[in-house]
Amino acid sequence: MDYGQRNVYIFTFLSFFSAFSLFFSTFNFQLSTFYYLCAVILSSHPTMRFSMTPATYDLASEAVDLLKRLIATPRTSRDEGAAADLFARFIEEKGFQVHREANNLWTIADGYDSARPTLLLNAHLDTVRPVSGWMRDPFVPVVEGDRLYGLGANDDGASLVSLFAAFRVLARRPQAYNLVFLASAEEEVSGRDGVARAMAQLPPIDVALVGEPTGMQPAIAEKGLMVLDVTAKGRAGHAARDEGVNAIYLALPDIEWFRTFRFPKVSDLLGPVRMSVTVINAGTQHNVVPDRCTFTVDVRSNECYTNQELFDIITSSVSSEVAARSFRLGSSHIDISHPLVARALSLGPTVDGQPRAPFGSPTLSDQALMPWPSMKMGPGQSARSHTADEFIRLPEIQTAIDDYIQMLDGLTFSSRFYQKRA
């Protein structure tokens, strides 16, 4: 059986799940029990992607239950306190010591040795605010068929609970590396009380696996972000007379430069640096020549440039005043030969039957603030993020847990990929 046929069988069984769930509920069967039975049947075939055992089923079941509780606890950026409390209790219940800074939580596997490399598992706790168009209550978790609906189910709850489930297994087994799990806050707003605040208190990190919805494909590069506020200054005058210097006209050549300029270094993974003028303001009334025109530029960087390097090129090329809101959200990447990437690529096809392939991600994550190499990989799809009726498929959580464990259990690092410490 090829993987396309396998997925036909998978989705056929999941369709049966949806159709018969009502029947089972009539006889007081739990839906999760029926889902388990389906998975057992699927896993009995030697070519099926599922490898569910009672132990991994328990992990996945607990992960889904935790995700439901998180969905029911509003946790928009800068307001994650209640969700952080809930998650901290769960970590402690599983026998791990919790460290907390603001609404960031982390735990370190026993046996930490500063002479060994350290791997960070990270996903974010917060969500965006619900958009208009939801047909369901975004804070009420609902399972329909194999889908769990709710705000943050896909971004980033599924990665959060799946990574912690894998951490629980990996932390109980001897590893050649130290293991740290971090649930970070304020990711959706790149807030200063998010991962940046927690990093100062973490042990030295050599590499990070960041859970974000990538379909469990390894993103080995990610675009950075720099927002510019640009101001052209003229001189006010009466529009009926030939006087004043129109700031809008002064801004036009610079706006055209932002539209047409191409930075010479193009990334194989992320493509070119992209600049877009997204906001413009000028003028006070129709008969006054404007003395000031301001506009905003969104700059998406690749790994070939730092944000400071891009800023220097821009300021030397335009006549308007340019101010960067921040240089901190740089592009990130990891060497394709890194053992973490190699392990990811050695996994079998994804739950959707796709072969693993490294790619560059256009979306921003906490990677932008990490000074160490990092790879982004998690269950779900980026296209579902920040949308109405956001959902995660339950098999995506199960297979993510299995993939994380398979990828990280027994992982070793050569000295090339970590800094030896006394």
Q: Choose one of 303, 324, 345: the last residue of a domain.
A: 324
In this prediction the pTM is 0.83
Q: Please name the helix (run of DSSP H) or strand (run of DSSP E) that holds residue 334, with its range, or none.
A: none
Q: Choose one of 293, 324, 355: the last residue of a domain.
A: 324
User: Using an 8 Å Cβ cutoff, are 394 and 156 in contact?
Assistant: no
Mark whether 57 and 45 lie in a shared domain.
Answer: no
Q: Please list, residue by residue across 215-224, b when 16 or more beta carbons sit within 10 angstroms of its beta carbon and e when fewer do.
A: bbbbbbbbbb
Please indicate, yes or no, if residue 312 is contained in any of the structural domains: yes
Mark whether 133 and 216 lie in a shared domain.
Answer: yes
Mark whether 193 and 312 lie in a shared domain.
Answer: no
Mark whether 180 and 280 lie in a shared domain.
Answer: no
CA distance 362 to 271: 10
For the chain, how many structural domains are there in total? 3
Mark whether 94 and 216 lie in a shared domain.
Answer: yes
Return per-residue pLDDT of the chain as tens, 422 residues. 443 444 444 444 444 544 444 444 444 444 444 444 454 444 444 334 445 555 677 899 999 999 999 999 999 999 999 999 999 999 999 999 999 999 999 999 999 999 999 999 999 999 999 999 999 999 999 999 999 999 999 999 999 999 999 999 999 999 999 999 999 999 999 999 999 999 999 999 999 999 999 999 999 999 999 999 999 999 999 999 989 999 999 999 999 999 999 999 999 999 999 999 999 999 999 999 999 999 999 999 999 999 999 999 999 999 999 999 999 999 999 999 999 999 999 998 999 899 999 999 999 999 999 999 999 999 999 999 999 999 999 999 999 999 999 999 999 988 888 776 65
**HSE-up of residue 189 (Cα within 13 Å, Cβ side):** 16
Tokens for 322?
């340019």
Which of these, 232, 225, 240, lies nearest to 283 by C-alpha position?
232
Q: DSSP for 13-76, please give it.
A: HHHHHHHHHHHHHHTT--HHHHHHHHHHHHHTSTT-S----HHHHHHHHHHHHHHHHHHTS--B
**pLDDT digits 0-9 by tens, 341-396:** 999 999 989 998 999 999 999 999 999 999 999 999 999 999 999 999 999 999 99
Amino acid at 20: F
Mark whether 229 and 200 lie in a shared domain.
Answer: no
Mark whether 408 and 352 lie in a shared domain.
Answer: yes
Mark whether 412 and 282 lie in a shared domain.
Answer: no
The dihedral of CA 91, 97, 99, 100: what is its sign? positive
Mark whether 79 and 190 lie in a shared domain.
Answer: yes
Mark whether 186 and 214 lie in a shared domain.
Answer: yes
In this predicted structure, what is the pLDDT of residue 57? 77
Which residue range forms the structural domain that includes residue 93? 51-222+332-417
Which positions ≥6 away from 264 have C-beta within 8 Å?
A: none
**pLDDT digits 0-9 by tens, 144-177:** 999 999 999 999 999 999 999 999 999 999 999 9
Please indicate, yes or no, if residue 422 is contained in any of the structural domains: no
Mark whether 135 and 246 lie in a shared domain.
Answer: no
The total of other beta-carbon atoms located within 10 Å of residue 37's CB is 14
Q: 266: domain CATH number?
A: 3.30.70.360
DSSP E strand stretches across 80-195: 99-101, 104-108, 118-124, 142-144, 147-149, 178-184
Pseudo-torsion of CA 261, 266, 267, 269, nearest 10°? Answer: 80
